[in-house]
Amino acid sequence: MAVLEGEHLTKRFGGIVAVDDVSFSIERGETVGLIGPNGAGKSTLFRLISGVQEPNEGTVYLDGEDITGMSPHEICHRGLVRTHQIVHPFENLTLVENAAVGAEFGGRSSKNAEERAYEALEFVGLEEMAHTTPNELSVGALKRLEIARTLATDPEVLLFDEVAGGLDTEETEAIVGLIRDIADRGKTVFLIDHVMRALMSVSDRVLVLDNANLIATGTPDEIQNNQRVIEAYLGENAGDAIDDGASAGAGAD
């Protein structure tokens, strides 16, 4: 059964079409990757789904409910939450207080916010630093704190926007492990990442955007060998890029 669906989503900014008639369906418990060149519309699509922006046309469904035009707060309470490419923790709060903000924002669990915050920090491996502040963290640890804040909302669907961006190999592997652990808990994951090895290794399916259009959907192997995708995005050395963990076409969208 589909837990997240988009039907004919379109977003225009003046004369620029950022997302053009995009439809997709994600099953409960799936991990789905979203790739495409810079400016393809990936982050815009995430903003439409999460309520940051409203589509000019089309509909977003979460568990069969039309959530189009709802605020991020309302959507979070219904079980969908996203991370952001650039992590902005509350620098004057401890890690557990940062995670508790997510728990208060989501509010879907009967457990109190502090209890959920500690559980989330333990899950991402930051429990021993619970009472320190974010300025003591590495970039990789900041990314894990961002994941902890989302987990504290008690989500069913998580949108990860460049969660491995800017990390070294060891930190990337740690983030990939966390995504796998989240998926193993039965959560639904929809992620954007330009670190191809990370995205391909965790995704059950991959969607490809190019020039605001959805041009392909398939398994990682199918996408890797899709000639249209290779021409539009990955280039002639697509297989090498994935095998080497190259960051193909990194950018904000």
Task: List, for the chain, all residue ranges whose pLDDT scores fall below the cut of 70.
Answer: 107-110, 233-253
* Alpha-carbon gap, residue 78 to 155, rounded angstroms: 8
Phi, psi of 53 (to 5 degrees): -130, 155
Per-residue model confidence (pLDDT) at position 110: 57
Residue type, 229: V
Q: Does the pTM exceed 0.85?
A: yes
Helix crossing, 113-124 with 95-106: angle to 10°?
120
Per-residue model confidence (pLDDT) at position 243: 45
Helix crossing, 139-151 with 113-124: angle to 10°?
140
Among 153, 165, 172, which residue's Cα sits nearest to residue 113?
Answer: 153
Per-residue model confidence (pLDDT) at position 107: 60
Per-residue model confidence (pLDDT) at position 109: 59
Per-residue model confidence (pLDDT) at position 235: 56
Per-residue model confidence (pLDDT) at position 246: 42
pLDDT tens digits along 130-184: 999 999 999 999 999 999 999 999 999 999 999 998 899 999 999 999 999 999 9
Per-residue model confidence (pLDDT) at position 253: 67
| Domains of the chain with bracketed CATH | 1-79+158-166+189-243 (3.40.50.300), 86-155 (no CATH)
Pairing between strand 57-62 and 2-13?
antiparallel
Per-residue model confidence (pLDDT) at position 111: 73
* Alpha-carbon gap, residue 172 to 98, rounded angstroms: 22
Cα–Cα–Cα angle for 249, 168, 100, rounded to 5 degrees: 100
Q: Which helix (H) or strand (E) holds 76?
A: helix 72-77
Per-residue model confidence (pLDDT) at position 108: 61
